[in-house]
Structure 1
Amino acid sequence: MYVAVGSENPVKRVAVERTIDGRVEAVGVDSGVSEQPRGRRETVRGAENRARASLSATDAAFGVGIEGGVESREHPAGLWLIMWAAVTDGESVHFGAGPSIRLPEAVADRVRAGEELGPVLDDRLGREAVSEQEGAVGIYTDGRVTRTDALADAVAGAFGPFFTDGTA
């Protein structure tokens, strides 16, 4: 199977590789949403846009889009990290979500003020490219769940309807 993932981020490529047997090509495409998607609707739209664009840019059997965002919630209250995946074969699109984690207020305040989560974490941790390593989910689970793990779960959920007949 040949699959295109709509990102050149190595974590996203590896998440797809963990999910399917076959060749995965990373394709730099535009998400069509803001750099820091806010809310489920924008995050899901970014994933779907990436999936469709990566499929269109290649002759792959499936296009995959993965998008991380933040979402304000009332209950339980706070700003939450969210992640969504979309998979398309050109006719159907299916979605899967990864885990979500409440962000600490010091981080949430900066993101609410307009900063992107990745650079905020880089700054607070004195590191570079956390989003291309364990990601926020890895930081806030003390490495028990990495960004690759979390995104692979979302991708598996999105691929599921393509590989099952829905009768179970």
Structure 2
Amino acid sequence: MSFRRRENLKPSDKLLVLVGSKNPVKVACTEDAFTRAFNRPILVEGINVSSGVPDQPIGERETLLGAKNRAYQSRDVFPEANYWVGIEGGIDEDEKGMFAFAWMFILGQNGKTTQAKTGTFYLPKKVSELVSQGMELGKADDLIFEQENSKQQGGSVGLLTQGVVNRDEYYRQAIILALIPFLNPDLF
């Protein structure tokens, strides 16, 4: 059984996807990921909802919870969509230093949920120090790299890779990975 038949959608029907954020990077990467994954028309809208976690989530659990909260709150606001997506970036530390990552959480119309995480990358000491003092990562990046609103552009990953990997690309892959169970419903 194919996904389209399972959802009773014709290939010409647009899928409506809500992102629990109006951040243009999160909306754009979600649209691109869903378009690539389903190869059909997609309408993606961002809405402002609370993550329910601090502005700078710390650790796996808190970051994933923020992504889940965004997806579920998006569904509460607009239950007519086909999918609801929560994206939350977080930080954590190990013996090598502070590192960044993000969780993607997708809720489907049928109640199925999936999730995937981006790769991780370490942050420079100056940025880590500011974040450790309570500053949100995007603001710390703006201060250290003399940028403005970098989190709605290339983000930390874009700044640190000198644009080789931007935030859109970084998130897109994880969204597609989170879609695997929806692309293979007979296997999951």
TM-score (norm 2): 0.84
Deviations along 1:37-67, one digit per CA (max 9) or x if unpaired, are 0001100000011011112211111100000
1:48 match: secondary structure:
helix
CA distance in 1, matches of 2:22, 2:89: 14
Q: Give the Å deviation of 1:80.
A: 0.4
One-letter amino acid of the counterpart of residue 153, structure 1: Q
1:18 maps to which residue?
Answer: 32
Further displaced range: 127-136 or 150-159: 150-159
> For the residues of structure 1 that align with 2:186 and 2:134, how far apart are their CA atoms?
41
Contact kept? 1:62, 1:89, Cα under 8 Å: yes
> Of residues 87, 95, 98 in structure 2, which corresponds to 1:66?
87
Report whether the alignment pairs 1:122 with 2:142.
yes
Q: Percent identity?
A: 36
Larger Rg: 2
Q: Does the Cα contact within 8 Å between 2:126 and 2:144 map onto a contact in 1?
A: no
Matched to 1:68, the amino acid is G
Q: Which residue number in structure 2 is paired with residue 2 of structure 1?
A: 16
Corresponding residue SS for 1:156: helix
Which consecutive unaligned segments of at least 5 residues does structure 2 have? 1-14, 36-41
Partner amino acid, structure 1, of 2:101 = I
Note the 1:14-163 alignment, pairs <5 A: 14-21=28-35, 22-58=42-78, 59-74=80-95, 77-90=96-109, 91-163=111-183
What is the CA-CA distance between 1:167 and the residue it aligns to? 4.0
SS in 1 for 2:179: helix
Distance 2:69 2:105 in 1: 9
CA RMSD of aligned residues (A): 1.4
TM-score (norm 1): 0.94
User: For 1:20, what is the secondary structure of its paired residue?
Assistant: helix
Answer whether contact 2:181 2:187 (CA < 8 A) is retained. Answer: no
Shift of 1:156: 1.0
Question: Where in structure 1 are there 5+ consecutive unaligned residues?
Answer: none
- How far residue 165 of structure 1 moved from its aligned partner, in angstroms, is 3.2
Q: Which amino acid aligns with 1:139?
A: L
Does the residue aligned with 2:172 lie in a helix, a strand or coil?
helix
1:19 is paired with a residue whose SS is: helix
